[in-house]
């Protein structure tokens, strides 16, 4: 039985730090084990220019623990006002990717894209500049069932984006369905995906059975167990096209435990440990390092990290809540539950 794991330092290819005082909590939580992270731009106001991305990056770096070498990778928030020049300028300022949110798809996305087709000149410029496109793959039309919105986005929009821009690198983020798995695995090597710990560990029973569980509510919403098993089978196969992206998304406890609770699971404090638990349960611990440390860096065209982290088999309990400096608290993902692996 494996009692210890050594992994090349992993990266998180999709997370939310938020801003302001929240950074004092979220940045150290990620920097404890991840060397790099792709930082989502859906702030208020959203990060729509290279200059805004640079300023946000400086705030993140100011919140790093002393001595940390953690590196945030910055992204641009696409709107229908985004121009090709915005892409060129942002790329020159170090922005690695642009994020496509359909308007209203998730937290702080009301200003996002109303017409995907109208962004074709932007996609062409991204392709020429070598900037990645990151996609929240859900439609938002009210008549489409929330459990069907990922498949509808793939069928309606993503296939066209990929077909019209064959040189554009596209990441379909936080995939939740067998449809997404099939699309990514059958697409060219310019298309990849991330998957979260919650979508590997849970299904919609864990959200709805026995009462609504707001801290398991995220977008895209948890799906039925057949889709969960498809995600598990994909990562267990060792494919390089699906890699680690936590979508760690903090909200204050009062905003989650609310009549209209916020979407997001704050997994940063237990993410790498929970991925290890999933891969162990799948009999695929030998695939974890590539998933966490190799495939994302290779797809982004970045060097793999050079140092390692160590995980040991030592059960511990995720805290029930985490205090914030403003007197509020966060409830972490898997709160109060035991995790078998611990970061040494």
Task: List, by residue number, the catalytic residues.
Answer: 247
Please report, for the chain, how many H helices and E strands are present, in that order: 14, 13
17 is in an annotated binding site: yes
DSSP per-residue string spanning 60-123: HHHTSPTT---EEEEEEE--TT--HHHHHHHHHTT--EEEE-BTTSSTT-TTSBS-SGGGHHHH
311 is an annotated ligand-binding site residue? no
Strands across the sheet containing 242-244: 12-15, 36-39, 71-77, 97-100, 132-135, 170-172, 191-195, 242-244
User: What distance lies between CA 74 and its chain's CA centroid?
Assistant: 13
Annotated ligand binding at 136? The verdict is yes
Q: Tell whether 18 is in a known binding site.
A: yes
Q: Is 321 annotated as a binding residue?
A: no
Contact 251, 202 (CB under 8 A): no
Q: Is 343 annotated as a binding residue?
A: no
Q: Is residue 251 marked as binding?
A: yes
Residue 157, annotated as binding a ligand: no
Structure tokens at 244: 């680690």
Cis peptide preceding 45, ω within 30 of 0: yes
Handedness of CA 251, 254, 256, 261 (dihedral sign): negative
Q: Is 16 annotated as a binding residue?
A: yes
The response to whether 180 counts as a known ligand-binding position is no
The response to whether 14 counts as a known ligand-binding position is: yes
* Binding residue numbers for Zn(2+): 14, 16, 99, 136, 174, 247
Q: Which residues are annotated as a binding site for substrate?
A: 16-18, 42, 136, 219, 251, 263
- Binding site: which residues? 14, 16-18, 42, 99, 136, 174, 219, 247, 251, 263
């Amino acid at each position: 039985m494996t009692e210890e794991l050594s992994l090349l330092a992993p990266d998180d290819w999709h997370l939310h730090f938020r801003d302001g005082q929240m950074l004092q909590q979220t940045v150290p939580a990620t920097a404890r084990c991840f060397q790099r992270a792709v930082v989502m731009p859906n702030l208020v106001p959203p990060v729509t220019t290279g200059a805004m991305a640079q300023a946000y990056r400086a705030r993140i770096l100011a919140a790093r623990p002393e001595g940390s070498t953690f590196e945030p990778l910055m992204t641009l928030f696409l709107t229908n006002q985004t121009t090709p020049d915005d892409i060129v300028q942002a790329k020159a300022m170090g922005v690695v990717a642009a994020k496509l949110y359909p308007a209203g798809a998730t937290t702080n996305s009301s200003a996002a894209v109303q017409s995907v087709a109208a962004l074709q000149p932007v996609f062409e410029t991204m392709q020429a500049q070598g900037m990645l496109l990151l996609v929240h793959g859900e439609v938002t039309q009210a008549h489409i069932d929330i459990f069907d919105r990922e498949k509808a986005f793939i069928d309606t929009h993503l296939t066209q984006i990929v077909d019209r821009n064959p040189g554009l690198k596209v990441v379909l983020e936080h995939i939740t369905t067998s449809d997404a798995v099939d699309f990514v695995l059958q697409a060219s090597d310019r298309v990849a995906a991330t998957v979260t710990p919650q979508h590997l560990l849970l299904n919609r029973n864990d959200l709805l059975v026995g009462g609504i569980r707001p801290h398991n509510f995220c977008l895209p919403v948890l799906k039925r167990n057949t889709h969960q098993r498809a995600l598990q089978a994909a990562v267990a196969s060792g494919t390089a096209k699906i890699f680690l992206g936590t979508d760690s998304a903090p909200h204050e406890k009062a905003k989650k435990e609310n009549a209209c609770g916020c979407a997001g699971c704050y997994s940063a404090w237990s993410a790498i440990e929970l991925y290890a638990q999933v891969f162990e349960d799948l009999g695929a611990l030998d695939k974890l390092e590539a998933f966490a440390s190799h495939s994302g860096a290779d797809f982004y065209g970045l060097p793999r990290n050079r140092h390692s982290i160590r995980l040991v088999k030592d059960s511990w309990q995720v805290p029930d809540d985490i205090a914030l400096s403003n007197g509020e608290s966060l409830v972490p993902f898997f709160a109060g539950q035991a995790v078998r692996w611990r970061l040494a």
